[in-house]
Structure 1
Amino acid sequence: MTMLPAAAFAAPPVLTASATRWSQADAMDAVLQDALAERRIVGATVIAAKNGEIVYERMAGLADREAGRAVAPDEIFRLASMTKAIVCVTALSLMDQGKISLDDPVTRWLPYFRPKLADGSEPVITVRHLMTHTAGLTYGFLEAADGPYHQLGVSDGLDASGLTLEENLKRLASAPLLFAPGTRWQYSLAIDVLGAVIEQAAGMTLPEAVKGLVTDPLGMASVRFTVPEGTVLAAPYGDASPEPARMTDPFSLNFGGSAIVYSPSRAFDATAYPAGGVGMVGTARDYLRFIEAMRAGGVGVLKPETAGAMTANAIGDLQISAGPGFGWGLGVSVLKDPVAAGLPLGAGSWNWAGVYGANFWVDPEAGLSVVALTNTGVYGMSGGFAKALRIAAYPA
């Protein structure tokens, strides 16, 4: 079957630079400078668009501290979990073509993926459960060091495991589910499973499907799963005192229930399986193109109603790890109650972040989209820097 080009829906938005200085530019600058002066982050690119115009773009600090190299305008960062939104949009594009349904059992596409509950029963896991993180799965770094994922050697997709995607998912399917699908929310490897579903439904590799359905239509040339050896990427750093430590390979950082194990060289390894949850790299400007297309109704990629479903709460009153006031859509966190969250963003804003130090948010009410890529995990993702940026982007 011939794949329908995603761009057939509409032309993607064209971002232009604003001719006037944004009112919040000084406040955003101050947040960046404070984080650098406090040696909490090493380098960053922050870019913001309001109603389709780029109103703010700053490169600050060092892309490579040891080499003294400043962050370049086209600096490529590791996106980690900001990959998830792109992979979910790839799946949604296939849904627009009628190739996948939210209610498809995962076993329709992956007959071997049959994890069981602790009592030995085998529940039905659907594509919807994967996209909403309600499948009963988790991440290894969120469990104790002696947990089942560690015992089975399940990769979180950030390390150099040497496994194929199918081998890793078979290990994952051998671990007991944490809960019956649909009854709780738990951040997880579900989008890696979704990546394997996409491969089967599209009849091509995940990188090929993402390229054909999302990144090529939107002109996101830098956003990919691996880059050729010798490509210049921002050097990665991990939280440490008195300043972030340059990541070795591997590099372990205490987080969640145990530790995140990073392998920065994975970005150059063409043989590494494509981790749909954490595996991509890219520039801030290209990622802005992506979220702006979604803010504008999925233009160039999705039908408007499909993009709307992605960014609307899809889990009812289930609680997520982002804290009070948040729900989850089909690939992103959704702000239901700004007061409960203690944020100035409008209700219906959506966002996510990545453990290499990246974060973004989109506020449809304000017409605002912001991407902040740092090379410092995890502070650039979830420390005071991310919240301070969100506050700085709005008038007091």
Structure 2
Amino acid sequence: MKVSRFSANVGQAINKVNQYAIDKKHIVGSVVMVAKEGQIIYQQASGYADKEQKSTMQVDSQFLLSSVTKPIVSAAALCLAEKGLLKLDSPVTNYLPYFTPKLENGQQPVITLHHLLTHSAGLKYRFCEPHGEGIYNTLQISDGFDQIATDLDENLHRLSKAPLLFAPGTNWCYSLALDVLGGVLTAVTQQPLEEIIKTTITIPLNMANTGFTIPDNNQLVTHYYNALPEPLPMPSPYFMQLDESWNNGIVSYDPKRIFNPKAYHSGGAGMVGTAPDFMQFLLSLTSINNDLSSNKLMDTMAKCYISSEYGTKGPGWGFGYGGAVLDDPILAQTPQSKGTIQWGGVYGHNWFYDPQQELAVVILTNTAIEGMLGRYPVKIRDAIYHCLA
């Protein structure tokens, strides 16, 4: 199918999904972008950035990115590794001598940067603890997007006191590993993480609306949480009770954290940004001799380092650097191609890149948790692939 025909079809299909989701009050607002063969073929803002103020969503509206931060920080680590400033198979203690978490039996295993990038270090998130009860909660370890205001070194010292879930490299658990990686990058360069990301990622790619602080042209959306009969504005803080599939954990949000100078810059969840900026970033990863690297970084990031037997995003999904990697589309029940890399953000985001189709999709919403795990991103995905059929 020609790109021009696909572009026309996919625009109509996504518009219908957007309108349905807003009419049914599944989401408040969103920005969706689609690129095919390196060219943006669809970008559309829908709904409200702030429903109470009747402020409509704009394509360049800014969102709290939460875990959409992770691929950006992962790519920065790869860029520094290319320059010889760090090695991915090196122990974390080479850079952070104090970061020495132990196993339950008291042994202190070696954690490498590769373990951090793939979430196979034996760490976890505080929201993984059922009913908010556990050692992470006792130690007051910040998940990087909550109301706990502490500096990075203090948070990593607290994290180092918590026992590892498993020996590094023997299992998988979504975790604060990228926050630790942020500490490594800071130690290696002797620069704040914000400056590292500027010099390695956002300035080269002209991502002027993405960073760890709100840009001068503040266009931050109001974030909402799903409720009946319609989503409600998210207070600071806000505690979301998760179901059994999330171990009955509690996600602790603080939409005002971005304005708190005492809150550290989280390498796993701390950035603010826009859909056009993130699409620019995604596309840069897919080409050789891009503005970030002489290599095609997507080839490194979208490898299935963690076996799909761990079901990182569900059956059929393993894990790479920055996101889950699709190993078995049939088992995963998805139209996406094998090798697709995908992840999201707990404030209500979803993105993926399908290398076989040369298809990049960015979905940023201001509605948690529908925009990440609800019907909406699945319907966007299915509408796009239906147009490819």
Structural mapping, 1:340-351, within 5 Å: 340-351=331-342
Corresponding position: 1:118 with 2:104: yes
Residue 138 of structure 1: aligned partner: 124
Residue 238 of structure 2: aligned partner: 251
Q: Is the 8 A contact 1:229 1:268 kept in 2?
A: no
Range 385-394 or range 17-26, more displaced: 17-26
Name the aligned partner's letter for residue 181 of structure 1.
P
**Distance in 2 between residues matched to 1:20 and 1:382, nearest whole Å:** 26
Residue 240 of structure 1: aligned partner: 227
Q: Residue 307 of structure 1: CA displacement?
A: 3.6
Q: Residue 297 of structure 1: CA displacement?
A: 4.2
Name the aligned partner's letter for residue 258 of structure 1.
G
Corresponding position: 1:128 with 2:114: yes
Residue 12 of structure 1: aligned partner: none
Q: Is the 8 A contact 1:333 1:352 kept in 2?
A: yes
Structural mapping, 1:1-396, within 5 Å: 21-144=7-130, 145-227=132-214, 231-255=218-242, 256=246, 257-297=248-288, 299-304=290-295, 306-395=297-386, 396=389
Q: Residue 305 of structure 1: CA displacement?
A: 5.4
User: SS of the residue aligned with 1:264?
Assistant: coil
CA deviation map 1:10-35 (0-9, x unaligned): xxxxxxx9798432222211211121
Q: Is the 8 A contact 2:80 2:86 kept in 1?
A: yes
Q: Is the 8 A contact 1:361 1:371 kept in 2?
A: yes
**Distance in 2 between residues matched to 1:216 and 1:251, nearest whole Å:** 33
**Distance in 2 between residues matched to 1:51 and 1:305, nearest whole Å:** 15
CA deviation map 1:271-317 (0-9, x unaligned): 32100000111110110000011122472112425541111111235
Q: Is the 8 A contact 2:308 2:315 kept in 1?
A: no
User: SS of the residue aligned with 2:206?
Assistant: coil
Aligned residue pairs, count: 380
Q: Is the 8 A contact 1:184 1:318 kept in 2?
A: no
Over the aligned positions, Cα root-mean-square deviation in angstroms equals: 1.7
Name the aligned partner's letter for residue 204 of structure 2.
P
**Distance in 1 between residues matched to 2:359 and 2:216, nearest whole Å:** 36
Q: Is the 8 A contact 2:312 2:324 kept in 1?
A: no
Identity within the alignment, %: 42
Runs of at least 5 residues in structure 2 that lack an aligned partner in the other structure: none
Range 68-77 or range 84-93, more displaced: 68-77
Q: Is the 8 A contact 1:186 1:320 kept in 2?
A: no
Q: Is the 8 A contact 2:300 2:321 kept in 1?
A: yes
Runs of at least 5 residues in structure 1 that lack an aligned partner in the other structure: 1-16
Following TM superposition, the consecutive aligned residue runs of length 4 or more in structure 1 with deviations greater than 3 angstroms are 17-21
Q: TM-score, normalised by structure 1?
A: 0.92
Residue 9 of structure 1: aligned partner: none
**Distance in 1 between residues matched to 2:298 and 2:359, nearest whole Å:** 17
| Higher share in helix | 2
Q: TM-score, normalised by structure 2?
A: 0.94
Q: Cα 1:59–1:291, aligned 2, differ >3 Å: closer, same or farther?
A: same
Q: Is the 8 A contact 1:94 1:202 kept in 2?
A: no
Q: Cα 1:156–1:308, aligned 2, differ >3 Å: closer, same or farther?
A: same
